[in-house]
Amino acid sequence: MEYGKDLTVLIPTFNREEGLKKLLHNLYSQGHIGEYQIVICDNHSDYDVRKMIDGEFDQEFRQNIFINSWNFNVGMCTNISIAYLFVTTKWCWCISDDDKVLDGSIERILQDIKTFDKENITAIKYSLLNKVKHENRYINSLNDFLEYYSPKSRRGELYYLSLLFNMDNIKPYLGLLTEYSYTYISFVIPLIKGLIDGKRLFVSSHSCIEYSERADDNWSAKRYTNVMLGVRTFADIDFGISSSQHRKLLKVISQNLPLIRVTSKITQQKGAFRRRLLWKNTYFMYKRNANVFMRILCNILYRINFDLYETCRKVYYRHINKKAGIKV
């Protein structure tokens, strides 16, 4: 496919008809119709995406929308990573199917494309309206990247898309992006590999979307656990960097998964054997990435029976609540 434009808005989607409809209306209201295209990668939704679009929008807007629909559900990670293979423009902005595009975002992105078109960057990382604000700056090396994303105040920023990729500069890494899609955050790989290869990343203070809060504390235990297991496997990737850099990178990648939250999600899993296996994976992640205190704590929790630990935790909190006069 060759569309002949500079920008693709890439939208992986699955069974979010109302969310996708609102997102497309957000884009439609931006204007600049015909100056960019939309590629929707539909993961075998229960409704006809094309029929929904045909019933909502005029011909001028519809003719710039291209839909790939799988014949079966290929999984969330695969649907997101393979979606990049359908992009033929130089620039690609990937967003979630239930996020809100802020007014003026398309105009801003088209202007940024003109500004950064000759720059040796892999991507522009935009801020998020309801998250920690970025400042305008270049990230010029892997060490610069690790220093920037290490503070706890930026915990989890890398998990959120809002990335405008320069496809010419990330093409060498698309194979890795798809091969390691099971990590849940394989779209971070081109940023890291690009920095290692001498390319840069630009962090923008401008917000283009309001991020949906569905992916925070409201995640189901199963979804959160799957993401935790995926992020843990980011260690599979050989970036060819020093052990010190690799350790810092894994710490940055996993710092959005606090031990107490991971533990609470594991306890919601059914079956002692399942919980034990999950805790084993958690132990190895925190043993590798955490500070000395956390590693000692993980070691203790790993070596005792996990269900016994959970029982002790419940007894402790029952005692605390009773002491505070709270009925349990």
pLDDT digits (tens, 9 = 90+) for 300-327: 666 665 555 566 666 666 767 777 676 5
Distance in Å from the first CA to the final CA of the chain: 61
Q: 152 or 23: whose pLDDT is higher? A: 23
In a 3-state reduction of DSSP, which class is residue 93? strand
Q: 214 or 182: whose pLDDT is higher? A: 182
pLDDT of 244 over the 80 cut: yes
Split at pLDDT 50, 70, 90, the class of 162 is confident
pLDDT of 127 over the 80 cut: yes
Q: 306 or 247: whose pLDDT is higher? A: 247
Average pLDDT value for residue range 141-145:
94
Cα distance between residue 154 and residue 150, in whole Å: 7
Cα distance between residue 33 and residue 271, in whole Å: 53
Distance of CA 91 to the CA centre of its chain: 19
For the chain, counts of helices (H) and of strands (E): 15, 9
Burial 76-113 (b: 16+ CB within 10 A, else e): bbbbbbbbbebbbbbbbbbbbbbbbbbeebbebbbebb
Q: 166 or 33: whose pLDDT is higher? A: 166
- Residues of CATH 3.90.550.10 domain(s) within the chain? 7-214
Q: Which of 218-222, 229-233, 254-258, 273-277 has the lowest mean pLDDT?
A: 218-222
User: Would you state the structure tokens that stand for residue 231, as one six-digit string?
Assistant: 């992020």
**Percentage above 70 pLDDT, the chain:** 79
User: Would you state the structure tokens that stand for residue 158, as one six-digit string?
Assistant: 């890398």
Phi, psi of 25 (to 5 degrees): -65, -35
Local structure of residue 270 (DSSP, 8 states)? S
pLDDT of 200 over the 60 cut: yes
Of the options 3.40.50.620, 3.40.50.300, 3.90.550.10, 1.10.10.10, the CATH number for the domain spanning 7-214: 3.90.550.10
Q: 59 or 201: whose pLDDT is higher? A: 201
Cα distance between residue 86 and residue 70, in whole Å: 13
pTM score above 0.85 = no
SS3 percent helix, strand, coil of the chain, rounded to 5, is 55, 15, 30
